[in-house]
Amino acid sequence: MTAHRPSCREMLGSLSEYLDGELEAELCAAIESHLSECENCRIVVDTLRKTITLYHQHAEEDPQLPAEVRLRLFKRLNLEDFLSHSR
């Protein structure tokens, strides 16, 4: 019995888990076999991987909590006296 080789569209739904390394070995092998022969899908996989990487990088650069936002939060919670100790 030959393993089912997924079509381009069939493969799409599994790519996210494939890139997270969470896909079972058999499905990984089917995807890799498809990728070895399909240039378009290789581009999709590469750009999906890069999309995830860009968001990870973007998240690392996110602004910190502004000091005045923290101050208003502590005031709203009636905790200002504790804030002054920690700053």
Contact positions toward another protein, by CB under 8 A?
8-9, 12-17, 22, 40, 43-44, 46-52, 54-59, 61-62, 64-65, 69-70, 72-74, 76-77, 79, 82-83, 86
Smallest distance from another protein to CB 28, Å: 15
Smallest distance from another protein to CB 76, Å: 5
Q: How many residues does the chain have?
A: 87
Distance from C-alpha of 81 to C-alpha of 75, rounded to nearest angstrom: 9
Contact (Cβ atoms closer than 8 angstroms) between residue 18 and residue 28 = yes
Q: Specify the residue, 33 or 47, whose C-beta has the smaller distance to another protein.
A: 47
Cβ count near 74 (within 10 Å) = 17
Q: Specify the residue, 2 or 36, whose C-beta has the smaller distance to another protein.
A: 36
Helix (H, G, I), strand (E, B) or coil at 19: helix
